Amino acid sequence: GHGRVAVELDSSAGVAVMKMENLPVNSLSLDFLTEFLISLEKLENDRGCRGVILTSGAPKIFSAGLDIMEMYGKSAEHYAEFWKAVQEMWLRLYQSNMVTIAAINGSSPAGGCLMAMSCDYRIMAENPKYSIGLNETQLGIVAPFWFKDTLVNTIGNRATERSLELGLLYSPPEAHKIGLVDQLVPEEKIQTTAAAVMSQWLAIPDHARQITKSMMRKPTVDRLLAHRESDIQNFVSFITKDSIQKSLQMYMEMLKQRRG
Ligand code: CO8
């Protein structure tokens, strides 16, 4: 790997911490997703690892979501390959046999929120500067159906409807209130809380927990598996539209200007 994902396995506890370190903002580029998938698969195949805590090594950001540069000014082949990697990340994380806990120590828009929602449990630092949500419509793009399904499974249908149409980014208290995150903690307590919650989850026999997780999540996963190719084609034809390329370009410029 190129050191974009730092994995530390505590063999005695059977718990790994996966720290995303694709600086500055942990955007989900193709290279990062590839490395993330390799790291996750290694842990998945390691009998000594039963749980993963997913967190960020970037200051103030959990993940900025999909790397906008991967969706802008590239070839159709590139978009297809990129989208397949995004699908694969969700499929692997959402169905992981391990207990997965997101320790959300920073902002987590769009794809970052999807990653957090794909875990079994979410703990967020109660810093008022952080926000989380599926803000796609604010970029002029539409969250794919399986992003929507994952949000419905997390917060319910009505909250999803409002959340998605307005592209809402929630403060930690708002996110907690609607159930987008399970628990808020002071920033400095996030890793110890994640470890404590992990031991509660690991007290349940793996086999029973895994079958139950699969029973809950399989119908959602099967929907993407049944439409995986057409989902790629949809993404490619949507993202190559002039109007969408233009929205993304304007959004990138807005992000850069906001700094100055
Ligand atoms: N991709 C690429 N670069 C990014 C991204 C991103 N998602 N986010 C930020 N950057 C870049 C910025 O442009 C900036 O670059 P530079 O240093 O060259 O100016 C650098 O990272 C640092 O960013 P900021 O200065 O903005 O840092 P802040 O700490 O002020 O803010 C935030 C960090 C909150 C993460 C902020 O950058 C932000 O809001 N970013 C955009 C997040 C976003 O909206 N992501 C959505 C991506 S779309 C997605 O994930 C799902 C799409 C589904 C596809 C459906 C199509 C059919």
Residue 253 lies in a domain: no
In the residue annotation, 111 being an active-site residue is answered as yes
Instruction: Give the pLDDT confidence score for residue 259 in this predicted structure.
Output: 73
Residue 153 lies in a domain: yes
Residue 177 lies in a domain: yes
Residue 241 lies in a domain: no
Give the closest residue to 132 by CA, choosing from 173, 93, 100, 187: 173
Q: Which of 43, 66, 139, 224 is catalytic?
A: 66
Q: What angle do CA 245, 93, 32 make, to 5 degrees?
A: 50
Could you tell me the residue range of the domain that residue 170 belongs to?
A: 5-202
Instruction: Give the pLDDT confidence score for residue 192 in this predicted structure.
Output: 98
Q: Determine the angle formed by the axes of helices 228-239 and 76-94, rounding to 10 degrees.
A: 130
Buried b (16+ CB within 10 A) or exposed e, 17-46: bbbbbbeebbbbbbebbbbbbebbeebeee
Residue 145 lies in a domain: yes
Considering only CA atoms, which residue is closest to atom 6 of ligand 1? 67
Per-residue pLDDT of the chain (260 residues; tens, 9 = 90+): 468 999 999 999 999 999 999 999 999 999 999 999 999 999 999 999 999 999 999 999 999 999 999 999 999 999 999 999 999 999 999 999 999 999 999 999 999 999 999 999 999 999 999 999 999 999 889 999 999 999 999 999 999 999 999 999 999 999 999 999 999 999 999 999 999 999 999 999 999 999 999 999 999 999 999 999 999 999 999 999 999 999 999 999 999 998 75
Considering only CA atoms, which residue is closest to atom 53 of ligand 1? 143
Considering only CA atoms, which residue is closest to atom 25 of ligand 1? 259
CA of 64 to the centre of ligand 1 (A): 5
In the residue annotation, 136 being an active-site residue is answered as yes
Residue 231, phi then psi, degrees to nearest 5: -65, -40
For residue range 206-238, what is the model confidence (pLDDT) as tens digits?
A: 999 999 999 999 999 999 999 999 999 999 999
- For ligand 1, say whether the CB of 70 is within 6 Å of any of its atoms: no
Residue 127 lies in a domain: yes
Q: How many domains would you assign to the chain?
A: 1
Residue 162 lies in a domain: yes
Q: Which of 51, 111, 133, 167 is catalytic?
A: 111
- Lateral strand order in the sheet of 51-56: 5-10, 15-20, 51-56, 99-104, 121-125, 183-185
Residue 116 lies in a domain: yes
We report the CATH number of the domain holding residue 186 as: 3.90.226.10
